[in-house]
Amino acid sequence: MNAPHDPIAAALSEDVGAGDLTAQFFTDPNQRSGARIFCKADAVLAGVETAREVFHRIDPALALRVVRHDGDALSPGDTVLEIEGSTASIVTAERTALNFIQRLSGVATLTRRYVKAVEGTGARILDTRKTTPGLRLLEKAAVAAGGGTNHRIGLYDMVMVKDNHLAARGDIEALRASITRFKAAHPAVRVELEADTLEQLRAFLGLNHVDVILLDNMDNTALRTCVELAAGRVQIEASGGVNLDTVRGIAETGVNFISVGALTHSAGAVDFSLEIHHA
């Protein structure tokens, strides 16, 4: 297994590289400034600590004050981070910090819209593994800031047996044996199975050690039937065909979870700017 990925180091490497040529030749190395990062839209904040860390990595001598915190609702003009110190350092870190905060706030803002859409139903909004490579932990933290619930982080912390696994593995008895063998080795790890039909659901309900059944691309009538069949024996997750127009109806079928890949693969950026003034 490779060493843990450092997304801030990777982002600064690709942007700053061997050094900020513009800052080196077109700013006074002795000049000090104050600056603020502020939001330019209605949004939910995420990534402010990541942005703060970007400035710290560029120049540990910068004075940084977090004004608003992840999960906060923002209005246009709201300041989220204040910076004071070397002007050259501030402008060198500016774009990378903004890139993180605008991307992560976009995820949090979209997540909050889905969470509000299902309010009162008892269903929880889940993220997926459809994340930006290298940014998974940050994007999942942004989902949480928006009020969503994190699904598995990766392939290592939960079993999710999907259609391709089932096609490769064979019949229900082979699946039963695999689950038994897995739970003997990893008793605390959750097991989820994907069902595409009512017949599959019925078969899966006869298995031990199954925590969640994922219902993929079923209409609301089928979802209700599946919830009734499960009768609380396992948790039920719905996926497929989920958007802001359909999510409320899906939630009202009684499912426990609704997974939404769009939270991370289709979230737009929120507009933030850095405004600088001389100290």
d(CA 82, CA 30): 20
Quick check: is 94 catalytic?
no
* Active-site residue flag, 162: yes
Of 113, 130, 176, 224, catalytic: 130
DSSP assignment of 139-203 equals: HHHHHHHTT-B---SSTTS-EEE-HHHHHHH-SHHHHHHHHHHHHHH-TTS-EEEEESSHHHHHH
Say which of 78, 94, 139, 194 is annotated catalytic: 194
Which pLDDT tens digit goes with each residue over 49-92? 999 999 999 999 999 999 999 999 999 999 999 999 999 999 99
| Residues with Cβ within 8 Å of residue 78, at least 6 apart in sequence | 38, 39, 68
Contact 38, 78 (CB under 8 A): yes
What is the reported pTM? 0.95
CATH superfamily, domain 7-114+268-278, is: Quinolinate phosphoribosyl transferase, N-terminal domain (3.90.1170.20)
- Please tell me which residue in 82, 216, 252, 271 is annotated as part of the active site: 216
pLDDT digits (tens, 9 = 90+) for 199-239: 999 999 999 999 999 999 999 999 999 999 999 999 999 99
The active-site residue, picked from 65, 162, 181, 233, is: 162
Q: Report the alpha-carbon distance of residue 193 to residue 111 in Å, rounded.
A: 25
276 φ/ψ angles, rounded to the nearest 5 degrees: -115, 145
Give the three-class secondary structure for 277: strand
Write down the domain spans for the chain.
7-114+268-278, 120-265
Q: Is 216 among the catalytic positions?
A: yes
* Domain 120-265 classification at class level: alpha beta
